[in-house]
Structure 1
Amino acid sequence: MTNTTEHCITIRFHKQDYELAEKFAASQPNAEKNQQVYRNTLAVLAVNTFVQELRYETDLDAGESWHPVLRMFHNVADLVLPGIGKIECCPVMLGETAISLPEVRENRIAYLAVGFAEPFDKVKLLGFIPAVEIVDETEAISLTNLKPIEELLDYLDRIELAIPLLQGEIEELLSDLAEDDPVQAQVREKLQNKSISEIVAILNGVYRSSEKSDWGYEGGKALAGSRNLSFSSHKSSPVEKVSDMEEEVKAELNLIAEELLEKLSEIWGDGDDL
C-alpha cells in the first residue's frame, strides 16, 4: 500500500483476490452482471485491505456484497465495520469522472471511490464522501467532490468514538418519550428509523458545518430528514406550510440535537476537522 503524488492510495491484488472475484462473478446470469460483480468484489477487497491497515476490524461475510442472492439482484459493494457501519466501495474506471451510487443505501456511513485500470493488477483509492452529504435522489457523485482518502481515518475515529456515548443517550431519550403523546411518538419514530451510526454521521455533519448557535436548528432539520445537504438538486420552497404538530416535532428534535451535540463536542474537540 503506497501513497501516490495525487493523494490516492494504491492497493495491489493477490492471486486469492482474483480467485474469489472470479468465483462470485461466475454465478451471474449475464456478462454485464459478471463484470459488475467482479469489479465490486475486487473493490471491497481493496478497501478491506486499506481499512485493516488503519487497524479497524472488518467483516466481509456480513456484507450484502458477500451474499450470493443479494449481489445477484442488487449492485452492492459494501464493507461492514462492526459497531461502526458500512462503507460502500464504488468502482470507477479510468476516464470516468463520477461514481455511480447503488440503490441499496441503508446503514452506509461513507462512499469510497475505487479507481480501476487495465490490467486490474492494482487499484487506487481516490477519495470518499460521507453518506450524510448525499440525498436519496442522487445517482452519481463527481470525483471532484470527494474528500482526500487520508481523511477517512479521522472520520471513522469520530464515528467510533461517538457511538458508545450516543447509544446510551438515545436509549435514555427514547425511554423518556411518552407513548401516548402524538408529538413525542413522531419524535420516537424519527429516531428509531435511523441507526446509531447514521445519527452520529448526521450530527457530525452538522457539527463541522454549522455555528454552535445553529446546532439545534440545523441538527433538528437533519434528524427530521429535511436538511438541504451538499449534493441535493432540490431546494426547499421559500414558504412551506407545515402543521402545528410538525412544528412541535421539529422543536422537540431541535432540543434533542442541541443536547446531543453539546455532549459530542466534549469528545470531538473544536470541530475544525471532519
Structure 2
Amino acid sequence: ASHGLALLGGGAASGGALAFGVTGGTCVVTVVGAALGGALGTSITNAYLSEDKSFSIELFRDGPGIPVLVARGWLTENSNEWSEAMQAVERRYPDSPVYRVHWGSKEQKALAALALKGSGGGAAGAGAFAVGRKASKSAAKKVPFLGGALAVAEVAKNPWHTAVVRADKTGVLLASILARTEIDRCILVGHSLGGRVMITAAETLGTDPDAPRIQTLHTLGAAEGKKGDWRPLNDAVEDAVHNYYSANDKVLEIAYRTAQVGDKAIGRYGFGTAFPKIHDHEVTDRVGGHTEYFGSVTLR
C-alpha cells in the first residue's frame, strides 16, 4: 500500500469542469477549480490509476517541515540517481518530509528499449534527423539512440511523445491527490520528464484557490517546451520557480527537440520569461549531460 495514497482524505464533493487543449502537439488536461477536491477529481484519479499501475508516492524520510515531493523521468528510474536526488533534496530541506513519486514505468521502459536498440550508433544516430532538425553530425553521435522511432510521422508512435503525454497526465493526477490532503503547502522537485510532471501539477493546483499552495518548484533538465505565457505557473507558486538548465544537455537538444517537432526545452534553453517568480539558472559549467544535474547542482 502506498503511504502517499493512504493520505487521501476525501474532500467535499463539488462540481467542476475539465478543459481540454493541445499544446506543442501534446494533449493537456487541466482540472478547473473545485473539481480537484471533488467527485470529478476522484474520477480522474481512478481513471489514471487504471492506466498506470506503476504510480505510487513513497515516503522516503519523515520530518516536521514543508513536504517535498520529487519526481524523475526517462532512463533514470532504476539508476543510482535516486540517491543523488535524495541527497540534493536533503541538503536543501533538512527538516522536511520527502516523498518520491514513481510513475510511467511502461513509457520509461519503452524509451530505455529505444536507447539500447540504438546504442550501436551508426544508422540509428543518422535517423534522428529525418525530420530536418538543425543539429551537427557530431552531436548525433553523442546520442546514438536517436533512431527512426523518434522520426516517425505518426507522433502517437513516438516513444518520447508517449512519455510526454503520460507526464502531463501524471501532473494532473498528482494535483488531484494533493488537493485531498490536509497540507497547506508543499515543495515540488522534478528532473527531466519529472520536471514536466511537477510543472503540470503546479499549474493545475493554481486553478483551485482552496488547494495546497506550491511554496517552491525546482526543475532540473526539464523536458518542457518553451512558450510565451508562463503566468499560470508564476501565479501558482508562493516563493519561486527555480529552473536549472545546461547547454550540454544533448538529450533535450537532440532527442526531445526531434521527437517534439522542433520544440525547445526549458531544461536546455531556460524559460526566458520576465515573470518575477520564475528564475533561470544556467549550470552548463557544472552539468555535462542529462543525468548529471542532481550530482552537480545545489538547489537554491
TM-score class, shorter-chain normalisation, is under 0.3
Per the normalisation by structure 2, the TM-score is 0.25
| Greater percentage in helix | 1
Rg larger for = 1
Per the normalisation by structure 1, the TM-score is 0.27
